[in-house]
Amino acid sequence: VGDFKNSEIRSRDAQASFRRAGDDVGQVDSLNELARVAFMRCDYPQAISFLSEALEKVGGHVRKKNQISGNLGRIQVHTGQWAEAEAALTSANAYDEEHHEEFSLAVNVLSLGYLHLRRRHFTQATKFFERAKGVIAKNDYKRLHIIGLEYLGELALEHEDNYRAKSILSYAYQKSLLMAPGSALVSQSARRLAEAEFALDNSSEAMKYGQKALEISTDLGERAEIALSRRIIARVQSANDRHADAVESIRLSLELLRRVADQYELGRTLLTAVEICAKADGHEDFSRMSLDEASRIFKKMRLDYWLAESDCVGGVASCQSGDLSTGFRRLSRAERIFATLDEHSRVKRVHKYLL
C-alpha cells in the first residue's frame, strides 16, 4: 500500500541481523526486499545494486536465483537494457512454467509485454498481455489485474485509440482507488488517465488527474512517477498558454528522470521540452540542447521510430522559429523513416507540415 519507509527499515534491520549470523539465504531475501522498495521508489540503480549483491550470495538456490534474475529483468526494462531484460525474463518464465510459479509467471509475462510495448512491438506486447491476463484471472491477482489494465491503456494510447485508452484507464483508476487509495496503483493509473484525457483535448480533466498523480507519487517518493506527472502537467500548462509554468515543470521532470536513469522516458520528455519551448519565448538554447540529447539517447538505444519523432519535433520547432530550410530537411527525413516503419498516421502528420 505504499509504506516504503517502514519496509526499508525492516529490511535493513533484517539484513544486518542475517549478516551478523552469517546467513546468506536470509541476506538474499532481505536484499531482494530492499530492491523491491528501491524499484517502487523508481531508484533503479540502487535496486540493481541490491539484486547484484543478492545474486552473489544466492549460491545453489535455483528458485531464489530465478526470482532475483526475473526481478533484475523487470528493472532493466526501465533502464534501457532491453536485450538483457528480455533474456532474464524469458529464462525466468521458463522456470516459472515448469515449476508452476504462477504469481512470478504473471509478473514476468506482464514485464515482457511492457518491454515490447516500449519497443513498439505491439503484436508481441498484446500476446504477452493476453497471456498474463489468463494467469491473473485464474488466480484472482487483483493488484496485477490493475497493472495489466494500465499497460493495456498505454498500448491503446500508443495506437492513438484514445477513447478506448480513457475507458480502460478510468476503470483501472477506479479499481485502484477501491483497493488502495494512497498507493502507487492510483498514482500510475491517474497519470496515464491524465495522458488519455489530454489526447482527447480535455485539458481540465488532464490537469486534475495529473495533479492527483503528482500528489500521491510525491507522498510515496516515486521519483519516475513524479517526473512523468510533471511532464503531463507541463503539457497541459503549455496548451493553456502558461508557458513559464510549463517550462519550469518540464525542467523539474527532466531533473528527476536523469536521477532515475530511465533513458527511454528521459528521451521522450526531452522531446516534450522541445515542443513546450517552441511555444515559449527565450528558451532556444534549452530547446536545442534537449533535442540534441534526445537524438543521442534514441540513436544509442537504436530506436528508429523515436529518432524519426525527434526529427519531426525538431523540424516543426525549426519551422516555427523561421528556419524553414532546417525544418523541411528534418521533416523530410522523419517522413522517410516513418514510411519505412509503416507508421502511416505519423506519415500523414508530417505531410500536414510539408504541404
pTM, two decimals, is 0.91
| Sequence-ordered list of residues with C-beta below 8 angstroms from that of 156, at least 6 positions apart, any chain | 162, 164, 165, 168, 196
Q: Which three cell numbers stand for residue 287?
A: 530547446
∠ Cα 105 108 114 (to 5°): 140
Separation CA 278–CA 295 (nearest Å) = 17
Q: Quote the pLDDT of residue 215.
A: 97
Which residues, other chains included, contact 37 with Cβ-Cβ below 8 Å and sequence gap of 6+?
4, 7, 8, 11
Q: Which is nearest to 321 in space by CA: 281, 272, 355?
A: 281
3-state secondary structure of 7: helix
Q: How many Cβ atoms from other residues are within 10 Å of residue 344's Cβ?
A: 10
The pLDDT assigned to 12 comes to 55
For residue 2, the model assigns a pLDDT of 46
For 73, 203, 286, the CA distances from 281, given in Å and listed in that order, are 42, 22, 11
**Long-range Cβ contacts of 162-170 (<8 Å, 24+ apart):** 162/196, 162/199, 162/200, 163/200, 165/192, 165/195, 165/196, 165/199, 166/193, 166/196, 166/197, 166/200, 169/193, 169/196
- Nine-digit cell at 158? 500508443
pLDDT < 50 positions in the chain: 1-2, 18
Which of 186, 115, 120 lies closest to 159, judged by CA? 120
